[in-house]
Amino acid sequence: MARFMDVHNGFVGVTAEQLREAHRRDLEAEAAEGVHFEHAWLDPQAGKVFCLSSGPSKEAVLRVHEKAGHPTEEIYELPVEVD
């Protein structure tokens, strides 16, 4: 399993409720791909969403987002992290 951060653009003015609904759709779609979306953060002014996930591949992460209706090609694999 690897970790991924994906980035969505164009979410200007999106509300907390809309982000929750989008994330709920990811959670419904993720099991079939062996992906888990752990967290999502929204900057509604810039229209950016960051999603942290774990799964087998970038392609699997993309397929979940496609099924959920919000695909993005900007997906980064994160083999290194610190806290």
Contacting positions for its own copies (CB under 8 A)? 3, 5, 14-16, 19-20, 23, 38-46, 48, 50, 52, 76-83
Q: Name which of 44 and 71 has its Cβ closer to its own copies.
A: 44
Distance, in Å, from the CA atom of 32 to the CA atom of 74, rounded to the nearest integer, reads 21
Beta bridge mates, 39: 52
What is the smallest separation between the CB atom of 31 and its own copies, expressed in angstroms?
A: 17
Among 28, 32, 35, 73, CA closest to 52: 35
What is the smallest separation between the CB atom of 52 and its own copies, expressed in angstroms?
A: 8
